[in-house]
Amino acid sequence: MWTWFYKLASPPYVYRVAAALMPWFLGLAAVTIGYGLIGGLVFAPPDYQQGDAFRIIYVHVPSAILSVTVYTIMAVASAIALIWRIKVGHAVAAASAPIGASLTLLALVTGSMWGKPMWGTYWAWDPRLTSELILLFLYVGVMSLRSAFEDPARGDRAAALLAVVGVVNVPIVHFSVVWWNSLHQGSTLVTLEGPKMQSSMLWPLLSMLLGFTLFYGAVLCIRVQGEVLQRERQSAWVREAIKS
Amino acid sequence: MSGGGFWYMGGYARYVWPCIGFAGVVLVWNLWSARRSLAAAKIRASRALAMAASEAR
Amino acid sequence: MKIATEGLAVDSVHVWRGDRHVLQGVSAEVHRGELLHVSGPNGTGKTTLLRVVSGLLHPEQGIVTWLGQSIVSHRTDYQAALAYAAHEPALKGDLTALENLHFSVGMKRRSTLQELRDALERTGVAACADLPARVLSAGQRRRVSLARVIAMRASLWLLDEPYANLDAAGSQLVSELLQAHVATGGLALVVAHRELALACTVRRLELNS
Amino acid sequence: MTVSAWEAFWLLVQRELRLSFRRPEQLLQPLVFFLIVTTLFPLGLSLQLSLLRDIAPGVLWVAALLSALLSLDFLFKSDADDGTLEQLALSGHGLTVIVAAKTLAHWLVTGLALVLVSPIVGTALGIPVGAFATMLGSLALGTLTLSWLGAVGAGLTIGLRRGNVLLSLIVLPLAMPLLIFGAGATDRAISGTNPAGALYLLAALCVFTCTLAPFAAAAALRITLE
């Protein structure tokens, strides 16, 4: 059972797998996002409270969920790389950081655009958006630390440790922000009594979430190839890899 | 759909379409910058290989 | 051939600094009562090798063993048994020479102030015992760091350019200390450019780019 | 007769305290910075104590955080520059003991000093004496937590050219929860409501950080010492 895990540790194998999987990820992502957008913008009925403004959740919720998930993936990859000294872990972490940061920014922008009709201002220090903002700071911290070192290997390890320390703090930050200001209306999707939305509203949202996840997979596959090449000494397999 | 066509978004067009647009920009940027960083990595790797080859001779 | 169970062994160590392959499969051994003289032009990784052997730097490939056991798994025990004198004498400018010794040797073994004064006496800087380290000359600071090595009573000495900034008398002192240490069954790994005229078994390791 | 970890810990704390008192002006700088920053707010806003009292907890806490952050830079930098940090790392005790001793000594010299000065600043900002107990208690817990978070940040940014900017960028997001609970506790104490809830959360955060941060800071040092 463990063989695939060990194979995942070898850079040439990861490079080939990433190159092979990328088209599948991208294709499926296009399909699911396409369906989600059409379902969400055209067929889903307007919300009884917010009217058509609620359609922003079809981009806000997936990017918000992804922003935290990608940070967690980055932290897990960093922990694996630190503990077992697997260089591919650093490559995955370095590749995930910009994607996660851009999705966090997307969540922030769409969240404040969604807030305007509801609260009358673009920024009302809503706990969910404030946590997203702090998450963006954590991403920027990890990325700038990685690039601050001349020796890339040390930059990787320093950023990896910061990612692990950061992921421990994400729930703490979120709890403290919510404790500080419980103004935000309960999230329509993840609530105790299950989604308040009708199925015609819900399915497009789940499809968008799946689409964004697959899209993350696709971009990760591209970036990981670059990061693996960068970290790979002048070993034989790199020569073939560059030709393709 | 109430008042105005699909594009009117029930009066919230000013908020919905910029969000969709910005989401598109973020997705496209991700793909573009990923491809660019992969291409740059390949060039750097080939240059390093060439240097290593010249040192070996 | 004495197997390396009672000494230090470096086995095909590889280290990269960014793209530079600094240490390319370096291997060496030194047993009780022996000294390993590491020499080679500047920038060939002499200091890097010393940092790998001391356990500060983790090599990408290869292992270092002390008394037959890898230093990674027994890091703290191993580091308790060694004394490391870096190229720059590591002294706090605001503390006196005696205080510097008290706070660094004191981390490894309980030692009385008199023992520390004797060590400073042995390296000829007893007069500076109560002067802040920042007012000492480079030679005096080197002698204080040598006093620290003696006071630690470690079995393994790792010295990076111990002869630097020393006059003839100082160099003579270093050679005497090394010979005395090795004669009592100690081990030493010395990085130095000059030839060591020592009356003990000296192994050579030449690092080239 | 090797030295036990506990002895090495206290020896190192003594060393740090002695070093700090050899250069007292370095101790004063964060305190003066604390006073200056808090003076800015009345000048920028208004001198009515009633208005100042509303924002006093936030101002006091932000100024305390920034002053403590300012002094974190010296935690490992001077030892790293003159090579003594390597000697400590090779002392035969785990890096965790080294980091724990240095961070505790750093807090005693900077964080506690901020706490002792805070009544002056509190009065200047119109905080009633009745709230001083909570203010001092929350600041003590807050600065200790920040010293530990800062130890991780400082460990990661030794030897970097513009390390202190990066240090703030790394540590401040992690310090936001303690600012929320700390300022929240002080604010409730001023308004007369019971600050126990916020204080307990701050204490929990402090205990959590004090137990995990030493290992993270030791790992950070091991990375930058390589």
| CATH of residue A175 | 1.20.120
Give first-to-last CA distance, chain D, whole Å: 30
C98 close to C120: Cβ distance less than 8 angstroms: yes
User: Taking all residues of chain B, what is their mean pLDDT, rounded to a whole number?
Assistant: 84
pLDDT digits (tens, 9 = 90+) for D156-181: 998 888 788 999 999 999 999 999 99
Least confident of A76-85, A101-110, C187-196, D129-138: C187-196
Give A190's pLDDT tier (boundaries 50, 70, 90): very low
Report d(CA C182, CA C184) in Å as an integer.
5
User: Chain B residues with CB inside 8 Å of A229's CB?
Assistant: 38, 41-42, 44-45
Q: In D, what residues contact A, Cβ < 8 A?
A: 152, 156-157, 160, 162, 166, 169-170, 172-174, 176-177, 180-181, 184, 201, 205, 208, 212, 216, 219-220, 223-224, 226
Is residue A189 scored above 60 in pLDDT? Answer: no
pLDDT digits (tens, 9 = 90+) for C57-78: 888 889 999 988 888 888 888 9
Residue ranges covered by each domain of chain B: 9-56
The letter for the amino acid at D30 is P
What pLDDT, on the 0 to 100 scale, is given for residue A1?
A: 58
Q: Are residues C50 and C146 in the same domain?
A: no
| Helices within C64-158 (DSSP H only) | 75-80, 97-105, 113-122, 138-152
Is residue A121 scored above 80 in pLDDT? Answer: yes
| Helices within D23-131 (DSSP H only) | 24-44, 49-72, 74-81, 84-89, 95-106, 112-124
Residue C10, min C-alpha distance to chain A (Å): 21
Asked whether the beta carbons of residue B2 and residue A60 sit closer than 8 angstroms, the reply is no
Q: Which residue has the higher pLDDT, D163 or D208?
A: D208
What pLDDT, on the 0 to 100 scale, is given for residue B55?
A: 74
Q: Which of D116, D127, D146 is nearest to D185 (CA)?
A: D127
- For chain D, the maximum distance between any two Cα atoms, rounded to a whole number of angstroms, is 64
Mean pLDDT, rounded, for C194-209: 81
What pLDDT, on the 0 to 100 scale, is given for residue A182?
A: 54
Q: CA D145, D151, D153 angle in degrees (round to 5)? A: 105
With a cut of 0.85, is the ipTM above it? Answer: yes
Task: Provide the pairing of β-strand C20-31 with C7-17.
Answer: antiparallel
Report d(CA A158, CA A152) in Å as an integer.
10
CA distances from C175 to C53, C119, C142 (A): 22, 16, 14
Give B4's pLDDT tier (boundaries 50, 70, 90): low
Q: Which helix (H) or strand (E) holds C85?
A: strand C82-85
Report d(CA C105, CA D3) in Å as an integer.
10
Is residue C53 scored above 60 in pLDDT? Answer: yes
Q: Which of C157, C158, C164 is nearest to C143 (CA)?
A: C164
Is residue A36 scored above 90 in pLDDT? Answer: yes
Instruction: Answer yes or no: is C177 within a domain.
Output: no
Asked whether the beta carbons of residue C18 and residue A233 sit closer than 8 angstroms, the reply is no
Mean pLDDT, rounded, for A129-146: 94
Q: In the numeric block, which tokens belong to residue D112? A: 């506690």
Sign of the dihedral through C-alpha C103, C105, C107, C109: negative
Q: CA A141, A143, A146 angle in degrees (round to 5)? A: 105
pLDDT digits (tens, 9 = 90+) for C2-45: 445 678 999 999 988 877 888 888 899 998 889 999 988 888 88
Instruction: Answer yes or no: is A179 within a domain.
Output: yes
Q: Are residues C102 and C138 in the same domain?
A: yes
pLDDT digits (tens, 9 = 90+) for A57-67: 899 999 999 99
Mean pLDDT, rounded, for D38-44: 89
What pLDDT, on the 0 to 100 scale, is given for residue B3?
A: 53
Question: What DSSP character marks residue D109?
Answer: I
Q: Between D2, D12, D94, which is nearest C108 by CB?
A: D2
Task: Provide the pairing of β-strand C61-66 with C20-31.
Answer: unpaired
Q: Are residues C66 and C131 in the same domain?
A: no
Report d(CA C156, CA C173) in Å as an integer.
18
What pLDDT, on the 0 to 100 scale, is given for residue B57?
A: 63
Q: Are residues C162 and C148 in the same domain?
A: no
The neighbour count for residue C186, using CB atoms within 10 Å, is 19
Least confident of A139-143, B21-25, C85-89: C85-89
Report d(CA D72, CA D155) in Å as an integer.
10
User: Chain B residues with CB inside 8 Å of A106's CB?
Assistant: 22-23, 26
Report d(CA C45, CA A172) in Å as an integer.
45
pLDDT digits (tens, 9 = 90+) for A99-120: 999 999 999 999 999 888 877 8
Give A73's pLDDT tier (boundaries 50, 70, 90): very high
Q: Which domain holds residue C62?
A: 1-81+156-171+182-209
Residue D21, min C-alpha distance to chain C (Å): 10
Asked whether the beta carbons of residue D169 and residue A137 sit closer than 8 angstroms, the reply is yes
| Interchain touch D–A (≥3 Cβ pairs closer than 8 Å) | yes
Q: Which residue has the higher pLDDT, D73 or D17?
A: D17
User: Chain C residues with CB inside 8 Å of A150's CB?
Assistant: 18
Report d(CA B2, CA B11) in Å as an integer.
10
CA distances from D165 to A237, C150, D66, D154 (A): 40, 41, 12, 11
Mean pLDDT, rounded, for B28-53: 90
Instruction: Answer yes or no: is A143 within a domain.
Output: yes
Report d(CA D24, CA D15) in Å as an integer.
15
Q: Which of A9, A175, A153, A165 is nearest to A84 (CA)?
A: A9
Q: Between A41, A105, A242, which is nearest B42 by CB?
A: A242
Question: What DSSP character marks residue C153?
Answer: T
- Of all residues in chain D, what percent carry a pLDDT higher than 90? 63
Residue A137, min C-alpha distance to chain D (Å): 7
**Phi, psi angles (nearest 5°) of residue C36:** -105, 120
What pLDDT, on the 0 to 100 scale, is given for residue C69?
A: 87
Q: Are residues C116 and C128 in the same domain?
A: yes
Q: Are residues C5 and C70 in the same domain?
A: yes
Q: Which residue has the higher pLDDT, D84 or C165?
A: D84
User: Chain A residues with CB inside 8 Å of D224's CB?
Assistant: 154, 158
Report d(CA D121, CA D127) in Å as an integer.
9
- For chain C, the maximum distance between any two Cα atoms, rounded to a whole number of angstroms, is 49
Report d(CA A116, CA A53) in Å as an integer.
10
Report d(CA D124, CA D111) in Å as an integer.
20
Q: Which domain holds residue A130?
A: 23-43+51-189+197-231
- CA dihedral C57→C61→C62→C66, nearest 10 degrees, is 30
Task: Tell me whether A162 touches chain D (CB under 8 Å).
Answer: yes
Question: What DSSP character marks residue B3?
Answer: S
| Interchain touch D–B (≥3 Cβ pairs closer than 8 Å) | no
Instruction: Answer yes or no: is C109 within a domain.
Output: yes
What pLDDT, on the 0 to 100 scale, is given for residue A183?
A: 38
Number of domains in chain A: 1
What pLDDT, on the 0 to 100 scale, is given for residue A187?
A: 45
Asked whether the beta carbons of residue C18 and residue A152 sit closer than 8 angstroms, the reply is yes
What is the DSSP track for C42-76? TTSSHHHHHHHHHTSS--SEEEEEETTEETTTTHH
What pLDDT, on the 0 to 100 scale, is given for residue A117?
A: 81
Instruction: Answer yes or no: is C194 within a domain.
Output: yes
- Of all residues in chain C, what percent carry a pLDDT higher than 90? 49
Task: Tell me whether D223 touches chain C (CB under 8 Å).
Answer: no
The β-bridge partners of C10 are: C28, C64
